[in-house]
Structure 1
Amino acid sequence: MRETWVRSRPLIRSNLRQNPEPIKPMDITSKQHIALISVHGDPAVEIGKEEAGGQNVYVRQVGEALANQGWHVDMFTRCSSAEQPKIVEHSPRCRTIRLTAGPEEFVPRDEIFGYANTFVEELVKFQQQSGIKYSLVHTNYWISAWVGMELKKRQAVKQVHTYHSLGAVKYKSVTTIPMIATTRLNFEKAVLETAERIVATSPQETEHMRSLVSTKGNIDIIPCGTDIHRFGALSKEAARAALGIDSDAKMVFYVGRFDERKGIETLVRAVGQSKLRGHEKIKLVIGGGSRPGQSDGIERERIEKIVAELGMSDFTIFPGRIGDDILPAYYTAADVCVVPSHYEPFGLVAIEAMACGTPVVASDVGGLQFTVVPEQTGLLAPAKDEVAFATAIDRILSNPEWRNQLGQGARKRVEEKFSWDGVAHQLSELYTKLLEKPAKALEQVSA
Structure 2
Amino acid sequence: MRILITTIFDYPHEGGLSTHIYTLKKGLEQSGHSVKVLSFSELPNWKRKVYAQGPGFLLNKVKHGKGQLFNDFQRKQLLSKLILENHHNFDVINSQDIFATHASLDSPLPVVATIHGYYTYEAISRGAIDPKTNEAAKIKALEKKAYTGAEMNVTVDQRICDYVKESSRAEAHIIRNFIDTEQFNQVAPAGKTRKRYQLPENAQMLFVPRRLTEKNGVIYPLLALKNMIKDYPETILVYAGTGEQYTELKNTTEEFELQNHVYFLGSVPHQDMVALYQTSQIVLIPSVHSHGVEEATSISAIEAMGSGTPVIAGGVGGLKELIAHNKDGLLFKDRDENELAAHIRYLIDNPENAEALAEQAKYKVVNQFSHYTASQRFTELYSKAIKKKSIYS
Alpha-carbon distance between aligned partners in 2 of 1:328 and 1:120, rounded to the nearest angstrom: 32
> Secondary structure of the residue that 1:162 maps to in structure 2?
strand
Kindly report which structure 2 residues correspond to 1:37-186, keeping only aligned pairs within 5 A, or say none.
37-40=6-9, 42-43=10-11, 45=12, 47=13, 52-79=14-41, 82=44, 102-103=51-52, 110-127=69-86, 132-151=88-107, 155=108, 157-167=109-119, 170=122, 176-177=130-131, 179-186=134-141
Task: Name the CA shift for 1:359/1:101 in 2 (closer, same or farther; >3 Å).
Answer: farther
State how far apart, in whole Å, the 1-side matches of 2:263 and 2:337 are. 20
**d(CA) in 2 for partners of 1:103, 1:437:** 34
Task: After TM superposition, give the deviation of residue 118 of structure 1 in Å.
Answer: 2.5
The residue that corresponds to 2:298 in the other structure is 347
Distance in 2, Cα, partners of 1:288 & 1:199: 27
1:209 aligns with 2:154: no
2:316 to 347, 365, 370: 365
- Tell me which of 129, 134, 143 is aligned to 1:188: 143
Deviations 1:108-149 (A, max 9, x none): 865432304522542255238xxx243311111222122233
Letter in 1 for 2:115: Y
Question: For each residue in 1:182-228, what CA deviation from the matched residue of structure 2 results, as whole angstroms up to 9, or x when unmatched?
Answer: 122112222333322111112232233334x23x2222111111121
**AA paired with 1:34?**
I
CA contact (8 A) 1:142 1:184 kept: no
For the residue of structure 1 that corresponds to 2:270, the secondary structure is coil
Question: What pairs with 1:308-387 in structure 2 (closer than 5 Å)?
Answer: 308-342=254-288, 343-387=294-338
Match of 1:255 in 2: 209
Match of 1:93 in 2: none
| TM-fit CA distance, 1:404 | 0.3
Question: Do 2:207 and 2:282's aligned partners in 1 also have CA atoms closer than 8 Å?
Answer: yes
Q: 1:111 to 1:355 in 2, by over 3 A?
A: farther
Report SS of the residue matched to 1:63: helix
Structure 1 length normalisation: TM-score?
0.75
- 1:233-272 paired onto structure 2 within 5 Å: 233-234=186-187, 238-244=189-195, 248-272=202-226
TM-superposed deviation, 1:418: 0.9
Classify the secondary structure of the residue corresponding to 2:205: strand
Measured in 2, the distance between the counterparts of 1:65 and 1:101 equals 36
Please state whether the residue corresponding to 1:314 is helix, strand or coil: coil
Does the alignment pair 1:435 with 2:381? Answer: no
Distance change in 2, residues 1:389/1:173 (3 Å): farther
Superposition RMSD on alpha carbons, in Å? 2.9
TM-aligned CA distance change 1:99 to 1:126, over 3 Å: farther
How many Å apart are 1:82 and its aligned residue?
4.1
* Aligned match of 2:175: 222
Aligned amino acid, residue 4 of structure 2: A
Paired with 2:154 and 2:366, the residues of 1 have a C-alpha distance of 21
The structural deviation recorded for 1:241 is 4.5
**CA gap 1:202/1:103 in 2 versus in 1, 3 angstroms:** closer
CA contact (8 A) 1:234 1:332 kept: yes
Is the partner of 2:265 in helix, strand or coil?
Answer: strand
1:416-427 equivalences under 5 Å are 416-427=367-378
C-alpha deviation, 1:354, in angstroms: 0.6
Q: Which residue, 395, 400, 404 being the options, matches 2:346?
A: 395
Cα deviation, residue 393, structure 1: 2.0
Aligned partners of 1:335 and 1:403 also within 8 Å: no
Cα distance between partner residues in 1 of 2:20 and 2:50:
22
The structural deviation recorded for 1:356 is 0.6
How far residue 417 of structure 1 moved from its aligned partner, in angstroms, is 1.1
2:4 aligned residue = 35
Q: Are 1:364 and 1:381, in contact at CA under 8 Å, matched by a contact in 2?
A: yes
| Residue aligned with 1:351, SS | helix
Secondary structure of the residue aligned to 2:245 is: helix
Amino acid of the structure 1 residue aligned with 2:27: A
> 1:272 Cα deviation (Å)?
1.2
Note if contact 1:145-1:187 (Cα within 8 Å) is conserved in structure 2.
no
Query: Residue 410 of structure 1: which of 353, 361, 367 is its match?
Result: 361
Is the deviation greater in 303-312 or in 60-69?
60-69
Structure with the largest fraction of strand? 1
Alpha carbons of 1:113 and 1:321: their partners in 2 closer, same or farther (altered >3 Å)?
closer
| CA deviation after TM superposition for structure 1 residue 409, in Å | 0.8
Shift of 1:239: 2.1
Query: TM-score, length-normalised on structure 2?
Result: 0.84
Identity, % of aligned pairs? Answer: 20
**Counterpart-to-counterpart distance in 2, 1:103 and 1:116:** 6
Q: CA deviation at 1:179?
A: 5.0
Alignment of 1:300-315 (within 5 A): 300-315=246-261
Q: What code does the residue aligned with 1:182 have?
A: A
Contact 1:363 1:380 in 2 (8 A): yes
Task: For residue 317 of structure 2, give the secondary structure of its aligned residue in structure 1.
Answer: coil
Cα distance 1:100–1:70, how it changes in 2: closer, same or farther (>3 A)? farther
Q: Give the total of aligned pairs.
A: 372
